[in-house]
Amino acid sequence: MARIVALEDARSFDGGWLRDQVLHPDPEVRRQAVLALGRIGRPEAVEPLVTALVSDEAGAVRSTAAFALGIVEDPLPEEALGALEAATGEPSGRVREKALEALGRKGGDRQRQTVLAQLGALVAASGYSDRREDVEASRRRTAWDEARFALFALPRLGAGAEASGLPAVFGEGGAPRTNWWAAAWSAAQLAEPTLIPLHRAWSASADPIVQALGVRGLGRAGARVDPRSGDGLADEVALFLDQPDAGVRMEAILALTALASAGHPAPEAVGRRLVAGLDDPDPRLRRAALAALSAMDHPEAADALLDWTGDADPGTRAAAFRALHRQDEDGFRLLMSGWSDPDPAGRAAIANQLGAVEDARVRDFLIHALLGDEDPRVRVEAIEGAGRIEAALVRGGSEPHLETQAALAAHLAAADPFERAAAARALGRLGVRLAEVRAAALAD
């Protein structure tokens, strides 16, 4: 056992010794060897793992082999995927669960159908509707774990081009087949517009967890709906900003942000409610409200945002600056013209937040005011931010800005390794070669 652990740590098969241990007479040694093969993750591990999954007499070894196949590094060959599909019909519930989890990680279109079929049968046969126990005690084994594993696997596989198998799992129209939180979560992750009526039903639940997930689904699925359809989704979601449960309010803010980013107009009352949310005792909600005000137009929020630019928390005041740029660009520029922050955490936060603003003047501010900061953490954030803005501007049709490219390239020789890595990432996003930057600089 000690040798297996050492080989796993060294990422070595020690010739064929580790693979041979899947045939050891002791089932615990076989289980540990199978787990090590998966964690090492090389393609050579697949064959012994399939052998263990298909033929080992111990259920613990088979379930571990299924899990291990899900964490190997490369795509699985058809033989391994077929073995995992067959394992979903195993007598052992643990083997079925781990096979479903692995299919979620490694499967494709065919495996999606396998998971959907398994889920449909479970929904039809089980009584897990309205279950909450595994929210409070997720480590305890329950009779509905298999359904939970399958529901968690499905979003990784996607809904499919036609989403044809989803009604059997989730329901049709506004009638969910189950009000279990795991189903509402899975449907929200899929972000499938055809599930919007179900999200409406879940968002009306008396259970705050299911309600929050229903609101999340409205935002994620609604963001994929053409905003010209006039569906009024933002108006629906805005009603949840007044809910007493903080989790529901948070999901409402995030959903409104997603809808606004996708072009759905937000009702006028949303601005006032978001401004009121800036006084929420929960700091996560305050930050979410600030992020929302960065994604939608509510100029009446500008005065309140000015107050928050002086907040004691660096992240909060930086988010307020970013939101102010959206609501009052002239006021933002006036404020930034005399901006300074003695706290390096505040300067780093400003660079991080403003890096999401597609504005050439903000890019220039990051280059001239923060790229030469004395603190390397600030420089890293400024490099990342300026690079993101420049990449967005170029994608939008602007000519590449050679001064920005040269400024970023200068940090490839920085003493700080994180600074060098940030510069390399930024230039990589721009598709810039160092030789090109140097040639342009010499030509100038």
Task: Work out whether the CA dihedral 393, 396, 398, 401 comes out positive or negative.
Answer: positive
pTM (global) more than 0.95: no
- State both tokens at 143: 């009779």
The C-alpha torsion from 233 through 189 and 93 to 98, rounded to 10°, is 180
Instruction: Name the residue among 264, 206, 203, 263 with its Cα closest to residue 235.
Output: 264
> What is the pLDDT at residue 281?
81
User: What is residue 176's three-state secondary structure?
Assistant: strand
Distances, alpha carbon 88 to alpha carbons 118, 148, 152, in Å:
8, 14, 15
- Whether pLDDT at 90 is above 70: yes
Q: Which letter does DSSP use for residue 24 in this model?
A: -
Pairwise CA distance, residues 389 & 441, whole Å: 21
- Whether pLDDT at 130 is above 60: no
Pairwise CA distance, residues 51 & 69, whole Å: 11
Distances, alpha carbon 428 to alpha carbons 297, 365, 387, 431, in Å:
33, 21, 9, 5
- pLDDT tens-digit profile of 385-429? 999 999 999 999 999 998 999 999 999 999 999 999 999 999 998
Distances, alpha carbon 321 to alpha carbons 308, 359, 426, in Å:
8, 14, 23
State phi, psi for 162 to the nearest 5 degrees.
-105, -10
Pairwise CA distance, residues 302 & 332, whole Å: 9
Q: Which letter does DSSP use for residue 170 in this model?
A: H
Per-residue pLDDT, averaged over 289-314, amounts to 91
Residue with the two structure tokens 């050439």: 360
> What is the pLDDT at residue 123?
78
Per-residue pLDDT, averaged over 247-270, amounts to 90
**Mean of per-residue pLDDT scores for the chain:** 89
Assess contact for 155 and 190: CB atoms under 8 A: yes
